[in-house]
Amino acid sequence: MNRIVSLAAMIILLISGCREPYNPEIEPADLSVLVVEGYLDTEGLPSKLKLSYTRNIQTENSFTPSYPDAIVSIRSEAGVDYPLTSLGDGEFEFAYDIPEEENYRLYISTTDGKSYTSELIKPILTPDIIDVGFVKNELGAEVFLTTKGDENADDFLWTYEETYAFRPKIPSSYKFDPETMDVVIRNPDERTDLCYRGGVSSDLILETSSKFENQFVFRQAITQILQDDEKLSVRYSILISQKALDKKASEFWEIMRKNSNDLGSIFSPLPSNIGGNIKNDQDPDAPVVGFVSLGTIKQRRLFINVREVIPWRAVEPAYYSCFVEPDTIMRADYAQSFASENFVPVVPIFPDGAISPIGYQGTPRRCSDCTLRGTNVKPDFWED
């Protein structure tokens, strides 16, 4: 059904439709709704619960968020209390191995005098991920996952975090040393020709295993890497988290997914007000956003190397119109050209028979320095 969205978008293009920025005047609604996020591990692995507030839609990214101070705990129906440890900035850590057959509630009391209670939560043990892999298709490469549901775990949520290695358009191992006023080879910790970047994806992938034979979810598409995307230009890694959900949690995530992806096109569904499984004790009608679950998270990491998907050439808009300047910068002009660090040496020019270069051809830093867009520190999990 998601296709309808793209379909509608196409038809709009066809009939010379148009998309323009829209900034309506919104009543300055003083909406400071508590947001609770957490999928807490029941087998003792430290996991986080996050508390925050909603903020005005027009708030810029650069704002400083304020987080609620609170006392948070999980309590079993039998009355055993598991307090969470505050980590600051609205984050709380939960690290208990708790019995999975019991039911629990989450209790939050914020310092502004309000208290919140969740509905009963039943832990769900997530089945293992059977396989992750990728397949080349006409759009590029698709990452998939295979798993199998069971009698407790029918609905699944997958989220993922991507990390990839990349090179700048014009790699260089040289730098200008202001002390010696000369061009030198960079140290390994200063290298700018291979970096890593990535992040948590906002995609939410939901599926119900009972739709398939024997609850076998075969090669569920997780993400599509478009052909020639920089992500796969060197080596790519994806960490997929699999969480089993109960029916109500899956409804919550489905609303969140729909509210994020499916809005605004002609045939998209009406937006839905999102709630969750937490209520304000003082005012049960007051909105609270968030669905807290208990269970286990299963993760698998996949690496894909560019050699596995060739042909693949990196096309990255950040490096458009990058080339090596043909003019040779002579030694005397090094300071003038390279000292600002906006221009970096790339190609040494050796006269016939010379041992040391007479000068360097250079390129703008943005074309050569990958640390502008990533980090040159290899992540701990990285396997080459």
Partner 1 sequence: MKKALLLILVSCFFGQLKAQTTTQKFSGMYLGVSFERFAERIESESDYSFFYKKEDVENLQVNLQANNSDIVMILNQVFAATGLTYSIDSSNRIWISKGDKIQVEFPKDYFIVQDRQDNLANAGDSLSAFDKNKRFTIGKSSDNPQSKTAVLSGVVTSIESGKPMNGAIVLEKVDYNQIATDQNGKYQLTLPKGRHTIWVQNIGGFQEQRQIDLKGDGVFNMSIEETILSLDEVVVSSGALSNVNKLDMGVQSITIAEVKRLPAVLGEVDVLKGILIMPGVNTVGEATAGFNVRGGAADQNLILYGNSTIFNPTHAFGFFSAFNADIVSGVELYKGSIPVNYGGRLSSVLQVDPKFGRSEKIGGSGGIGILTSRLSLDGPIGDKTNFIVGGRTTYSDWALNLLDDEADLNDSKITFYDINANIQHTINEKNSLELTAYLSQDDFRFDPDTTYSYQNMNVALGWKHFFNDELEGKFTVGSDNYEFGIIGIENPLNSFKFSFDVHQLFLRSDFEYRKNENHILTFGLHGIQYSLNPGLNQPYGAESIVIEKELDNESAREVSIYFGDEYTISENLSVSYGGRYMLYQLLGPMSVNQYVDGAPITESNLIGVENFDKGSTVKTYHGPEFRVSARYTLDNKSSIKGGFNTMRQNIHLLSNTSSISPTDSWKLSDTYIRPQTGGQASLGYYRNLAKNRLEFSTEVYYRYMANLLDYRSGANIILNENIEQDVLNSDGKAYGVEVLLKKSTGVLQGSLAYTYSRSLMKTSDDPSVEKINNGDFYSSSYDQPHHLVLTANYELSKRVNTSLGVNYSTGRPITLPISKFDYAGSERVYFSERNAYRIPDYFRVDFSVNIEGSHKIKKLAHSSWSLGVYNLLGRSNPYSVYYTPVEGQLRGYQLSIFAQPIPFITYNFRF
> Interface residues for partner 1 in 156-195 (CB under 8 A)?
159, 161
Question: Which DSSP state fits 290?
Answer: B
Q: Of 218, 308, 314, 373, which lies in the binding site for partner 1, with binding defined by CB under 8 A?
A: 218
Separation between Cα atoms, residue 38 and residue 49, nearest integer Å:
4
Nearer to partner 1, 19 or 307 (CB): 19
The answer to whether residue 374 forms part of the interface with partner 1 (CB under 8 A) is: no
The tokens describing 317, both together, are 């808009």
Tell me if 255 contacts partner 1 by CB under 8 A. Answer: yes
Cα–Cα distance, 381 to 164 (Å, whole number): 12
Exposure string for 139-172, b = 16+ CB within 10 A, e = fewer: ebbbbbbebbbeeebbbbbbbbebbbbbbbbbbb
Q: Is there a cis peptide before residue 311, judged by omega within 30 degrees of 0?
A: yes
3-state DSSP assignment of residue 151 = coil
Q: How far is the CB of 17 from partner 1 (least distance, A)?
A: 5
How many residues are given for the chain?
384
Sequence-separated contacts (24+) of 256-263 with Cβ below 8 Å: 256/204, 257/204, 257/206, 260/202, 260/204, 261/2, 261/5, 262/2, 262/5
- Please tell me the count of residues contacting partner 1 according to CB under 8 A: 77
Closest C-alpha among 199, 198, 216 to residue 207:
216
At 318, list the tokens.
Answer: 């950040």
CB of 383 to partner 1, least distance (A): 23
Residue from 80, 112, 211, 378 binding partner 1 (CB under 8 A): 211
Residue in 82, 96, 212, 382 binding partner 1, rule: CB under 8 A: 212
Which listed range, 18-26, 40-48, 124-132, 333-341, lies at the site for partner 1 (CB under 8 A)? 18-26
Compute the distance between CA of residue 319 and CA of residue 228 in angstroms, rounded to an integer: 14
Binding residue (CB under 8 A) for partner 1 from 44, 46, 264, 379? 264
- For the CB of residue 372, give the shortest distance to partner 1 in the complex, in Å: 16
Site for partner 1 in 221-240 (CB under 8 A): 221
Q: Does 61 bind partner 1 (CB under 8 A)?
A: yes
Site for partner 1 in 316-355 (CB under 8 A): none
Residue 263 as a binder of partner 1 (CB under 8 A): the answer is yes
Query: Contact with partner 1 (CB under 8 A): which of 201, 227, 299, 376?
Result: 201
Residue with smaller CB distance to partner 1, 181 or 263: 263
Using the contact rule CB under 8 A, the part of the chain among 254-262, 298-306, 309-317, 375-383 near partner 1 is 254-262
For residues 19 to 58, the per-residue mask of contacts with partner 1, x marking binding by CB under 8 A and - elsewhere, is xxxxxx-xx-x-x-x-x-x------------x-xxxxxx-
Is residue 168 within 8 Å of residue 370, measured between CB atoms?
Answer: yes
Interface map 285-314 toward partner 1 (x if CB under 8 A): x---xx------------------------
